[in-house]
């Protein structure tokens, strides 16, 4: 085979199977000629062929450029372009053939900047050298998109309900105006040229949105928001004109408040001078002359703070007073009526006086008729620091003839055989009240004393005559129930008496052994006891009485006193008969156990024993018709004691002696004889 080799390796080289592929290495080196030598070896038949050469002129090589992927490019943004060049090794450089759309920069112009939206054409170039020609210029078209914008808010303003504040934000390169809107219109609203003036509506979070429109080169900026805390707004109060105010008078105050809409309320800070009332305290009442200070307040709410308190000073002048009489009174001679008049608010007393003293008199607020005629009453009221004196007013009252009435006192308690005292108050004529019995079979009346004649209802009429100034009083009647005398037992020893004119059979009256243990009566003639018990038969009773030298008690006669030892409290059957009055003839010298129907004190009983034919005792002299008188108190187990001799002594001799012995005093306790009481009398 023929083989080839380069004899000018600096200019060209060979390759391939037999070196038949020649590669240019450099141009313009030495002669610039590439010499290729051809050789063929011989064999057994042929000798090697003489070397032959061929000269090949080596020219300069060509270069080409290839762009990389086009970058994404926006207006205002940058991107990098790349391109691979030829073997010259020279740098690839880039230029913009559309500088209105994009520009290049950087070391070799590979950094492309978008200027406007459109088609950006970038040209790539590579210079040649001794071996390579300059590369053919290549271009790459890049679509320049609209640029992005962003918004940045400034500091949020301080904002209150009802107040305003300004918002600001820097926008993108489009140069369009940034506009503001409220996304929380219930909390805040916007206004002004571009909505930058924010007004607080309610307390809460106010959200303001900022927007900027785009252009051919810039897209609209993404919406940005700013949250502003809206605080409660402030309120203020303004009073209207102060009213004219007098003590006792009223006036109205008014004040305009803040935007909370809450009611303005008023109070008095000088309650001693004025008070307030009405729905919101706007009605002011003068209390005393002086300076009345009214405070106005308005509460806040979620959107407004409470208004600062405001005050208004009102001069309170002295009030006027007037007097007014009530309706005319009906007044009779001898009767009184209360005068009725309303005065002013000074608090000074109303003073009444009679200008006709012969017809009527006035004491305090009571007018009293003195004679028939026209009574003229004047009313006056003094003033004070707060009120002037009221003008005097008068009232004419017709005084008529007086009426009289009779009023019975409490009904006396009278048992059969008793007497009691009647008492009744009459009218002012001065005529005596007279009494008369309208039931003469039951009771009799002498003067003012009523005496029982039988059991039943005793009716007593009271009358009083009239005179020139008073009519006769209407008759009134009092009913007194007179009951038959009964025997009341208390447990233990009872000292009782038969004040009836009928005897009491012991075995009948005291037959209940469950109530009565024993009954005893003192026999004055025999100076011994008579005895009865329901627990023994007649024979046993007779035997026992003889063994003790007692007499058998058969009857308790009129005027007898007696002891009953009772097992329990009880009321025995009423005693029939007329009242029995004990007299001196029924008493024997010494001890007497007796009873009387006369409801008398021991002193009166002692006096009743005086001989009717004897001269009456001198004033202050107590007759000695008995030595001592004794009655028994069952609950206290004590004696009542009376002595006319001690009573006749000066001072408190009877009381002192009775107290010293532990006895009960008749006067102090109100104890009287009669009404079934038994008592001991020691007659001299």
For residue range 494-519, list pLDDT tens digits in order.
Answer: 999 998 888 999 998 899 999 999 99
Going by pLDDT thresholds of 50, 70 and 90, the confidence category of residue 330 is: confident
Query: CB burial class (10 A; 0-12, 13-18, 19+) of residue 624?
Result: middle
Are the beta carbons of 234 and 304 closer than 8 angstroms?
Answer: yes
How many other C-beta atoms are found inside a 10 Å radius of the C-beta of residue 648?
15
3-class DSSP assignment, residue 192: coil
Residue 417 has pLDDT above 70, yes or no: no
**Quick one: CA dihedral 541, 543, 544, 545, positive or negative?**
positive
Distance in angstroms (rounded) separating the CA atoms of residues 232 and 201 = 10
Going by pLDDT thresholds of 50, 70 and 90, the confidence category of residue 1 is: confident
**Predicted local confidence at residue 442, as pLDDT:** 82
255's CB contacts (< 8 A; 6+ apart) are: 237, 238, 239, 240, 264, 266, 296, 310, 312
The structure's pTM equals 0.42
3-class DSSP assignment, residue 654: helix
Cα–chain-centroid distance for residue 390? 40
Strand order in the sheet with 528-532: 492-497, 561-566, 516-523, 528-532, 551-552
DSSP state of 107: S
**Predicted local confidence at residue 178, as pLDDT:** 97
Residue 288 has pLDDT above 60, yes or no: yes
Going by pLDDT thresholds of 50, 70 and 90, the confidence category of residue 454 is: low
Are the beta carbons of 434 and 422 closer than 8 angstroms?
Answer: no
Looking at the chain, the whole-number percentage of residues with pLDDT higher than 90 is: 67
In this predicted structure, which of 56-70, 336-350, 483-497 has the lowest mean pLDDT? 483-497
Residues comprising the chain, all counted: 684
Residue 262 has pLDDT above 50, yes or no: yes
What's the whole-number mean pLDDT along residues 394-404? 90
**Predicted local confidence at residue 500, as pLDDT:** 83
Distance in angstroms (rounded) separating the CA atoms of residues 10 and 425 = 175
411's CB contacts (< 8 A; 6+ apart) are: 478, 479, 480
Distance in angstroms (rounded) separating the CA atoms of residues 453 and 154 = 124
3-class DSSP assignment, residue 644: helix
Residues paired with 139 in a beta bridge: 123
What does the buried/exposed string (b/e) look like for 203-212 if buried means 16 or more CB atoms within 10 Å of the residue's CB?
A: bbebbbbbbb
Are the beta carbons of 493 and 563 closer than 8 angstroms?
Answer: yes
Going by pLDDT thresholds of 50, 70 and 90, the confidence category of residue 32 is: low
3-class DSSP assignment, residue 646: helix
Q: Calculate the alpha carbon distances from 113 to 77, 139, 299 in Å.
A: 6, 16, 64
Residues paired with 267 in a beta bridge: 295
For tokens 């270069």, name the residue.
63
Going by pLDDT thresholds of 50, 70 and 90, the confidence category of residue 576 is: low
Going by pLDDT thresholds of 50, 70 and 90, the confidence category of residue 31 is: very low
Distance in angstroms (rounded) separating the CA atoms of residues 106 and 263 = 74
Nearest to 91 by CA among 130, 63, 69, 59: 63
159's CB contacts (< 8 A; 6+ apart) are: 165, 188, 198, 200, 206, 228, 229, 230, 231
How many other C-beta atoms are found inside a 10 Å radius of the C-beta of residue 40?
15
Higher pLDDT, 21 or 532: 532
Q: Calculate the alpha carbon distances from 135 to 81, 86, 132, 147, 265 in Å.
A: 17, 7, 8, 34, 96
3-class DSSP assignment, residue 168: coil
Residues paired with 229 in a beta bridge: 205
What does the buried/exposed string (b/e) look like for 240-277 if buried means 16 or more CB atoms within 10 Å of the residue's CB?
A: eeebebbbbbbbebebebbebebebbbebebeebbbbe
DSSP state of 585: G
Distance in angstroms (rounded) separating the CA atoms of residues 21 and 26 = 16
Are the beta carbons of 268 and 253 closer than 8 angstroms?
Answer: no
**Quick one: CA dihedral 379, 380, 381, 387, positive or negative?**
positive
Structure tokens at 274: 């004025």
**Predicted local confidence at residue 419, as pLDDT:** 79
Nearest to 594 by CA among 673, 664, 652, 654: 673
pLDDT tens per residue across span 201-252: 999 999 999 999 999 899 999 999 999 999 999 999 999 999 999 998 999 9
Residue 28 has pLDDT above 50, yes or no: no
Backbone φ/ψ region at 109: left (φ over 0), alpha (ψ -120 to 50), beta: left
How many other C-beta atoms are found inside a 10 Å radius of the C-beta of residue 468?
9
Nearest to 263 by CA among 224, 239, 297: 297
Residue 276 has pLDDT above 60, yes or no: yes
256: enclosing H helix or E strand: strand 255-256
What's the whole-number mean pLDDT along residues 276-296? 94
Distance in angstroms (rounded) separating the CA atoms of residues 113 and 499 = 151
Going by pLDDT thresholds of 50, 70 and 90, the confidence category of residue 29 is: very low
DSSP state of 584: G
């Amino acid at each position: 085979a023929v083989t080839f080799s380069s004899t000018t390796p600096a200019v060209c080289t060979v390759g391939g199977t037999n070196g038949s592929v020649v590669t240019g290495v450099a141009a313009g080196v030495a002669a610039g000629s590439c010499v290729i030598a051809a050789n063929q070896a011989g064999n057994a038949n042929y000798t090697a062929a003489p070397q032959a050469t061929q000269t090949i002129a080596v020219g300069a090589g060509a270069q080409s450029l290839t762009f990389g992927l086009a970058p994404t490019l926006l207006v205002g943004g940058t991107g990098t372009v790349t391109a691979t060049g030829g073997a010259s090794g020279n740098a690839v450089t880039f230029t913009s053939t559309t500088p209105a759309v994009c520009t290049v920069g950087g070391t070799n112009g590979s950094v492309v900047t978008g200027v406007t939206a459109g088609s950006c054409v970038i040209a790539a170039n590579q210079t040649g050298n001794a071996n390579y020609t300059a590369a053919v210029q290549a271009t790459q078209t890049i679509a320049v998109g609209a640029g992005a914008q962003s918004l940045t808010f400034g500091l949020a303003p301080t904002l209150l309900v009802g107040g305003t504040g300004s918002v600001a934000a820097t926008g993108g390169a489009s140069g369009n105006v940034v506009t503001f809107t409220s996304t929380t219109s219930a909390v805040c609203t916007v206004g002004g040229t571009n909505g930058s003036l924010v007004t607080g509506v309610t307390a809460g979070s106010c959200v303001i949105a900022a927007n900027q429109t785009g252009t051919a080169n810039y897209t609209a900026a993404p919406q940005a928001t700013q949250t502003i805390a809206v605080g409660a707004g402030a309120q203020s109060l303004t009073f209207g004109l102060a009213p004219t105010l007098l003590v006792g008078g009223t006036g109205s105050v008014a004040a305009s408040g803040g935007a909370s809409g809450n009611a303005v309320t008023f109070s008095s800070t000088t309650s001693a001078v004025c008070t307030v009332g009405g729905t919101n305290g706007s009605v002011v009442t003068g209390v005393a002359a002086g300076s009345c200070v009214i405070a106005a307040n308005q509460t806040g709410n979620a959107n407004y703070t409470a208004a600062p308190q405001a005050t208004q000073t009102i001069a309170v002048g002295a009030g006027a007073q007037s007097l007014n009489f009530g309706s005319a009174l009906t007044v009779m001679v001898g009767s009184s009526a209360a005068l009725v008049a309303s005065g002013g608010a000074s608090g000074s007393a109303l003073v009444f006086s009679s200008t006709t003293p012969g017809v009527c008199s006035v004491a305090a607020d009571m007018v009293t008729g003195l004679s028939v005629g026209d009574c003229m009453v004047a009313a006056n009221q003094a003033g004070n620091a707060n009120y002037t004196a009221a003008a005097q007013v008068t009232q004419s009252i017709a005084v008529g003839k007086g009426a009289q009435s009779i009023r019975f006192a409490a009904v006396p308690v009278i048992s059969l055989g008793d007497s009691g005292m009647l008492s009744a108050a009459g009218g002012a004529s001065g005529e005596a009240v007279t009494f008369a019995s309208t039931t003469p079979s039951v009771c009799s009346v002498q003067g003012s004393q009523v005496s029982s004649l039988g059991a039943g209802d005793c009716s007593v009429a009271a009358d009083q005559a009239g005179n020139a100034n008073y009519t006769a009083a209407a008759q009134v009647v009092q009913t007194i129930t007179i009951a038959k005398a009964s025997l009341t037992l208390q447990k233990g020893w009872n000292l009782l008496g038969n004040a009836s004119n009928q005897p009491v059979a012991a075995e009948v009256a005291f037959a209940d052994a469950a109530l009565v243990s024993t009954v005893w009566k003192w026999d004055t003639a025999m100076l011994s006891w008579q005895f009865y018990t329901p627990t023994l038969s007649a024979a046993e009773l007779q035997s026992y009485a003889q063994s003790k030298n007692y007499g058998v008690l058969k009857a308790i006669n009129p005027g007898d006193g007696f002891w009953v030892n009772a097992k329990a409290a009880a009321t025995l059957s009423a005693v029939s008969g007329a009242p029995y009055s004990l007299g001196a003839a029924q008493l024997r010298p010494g001890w007497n156990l007796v009873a009387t129907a006369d409801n008398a004190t021991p002193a009166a009983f002692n006096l009743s024993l005086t001989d009717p034919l004897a001269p009456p005792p001198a004033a202050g002299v107590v007759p000695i018709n008995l030595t001592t008188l004794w009655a028994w108190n069952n609950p206290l187990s004590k004696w009542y004691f009376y002595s006319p001799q001690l009573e006749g002594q000066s001072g408190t001799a009877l009381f002192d002696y009775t107290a010293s012995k532990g006895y009960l005093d008749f006067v102090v306790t109100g104890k009287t004889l009669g009404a079934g009481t038994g008592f001991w009398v020691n007659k001299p």
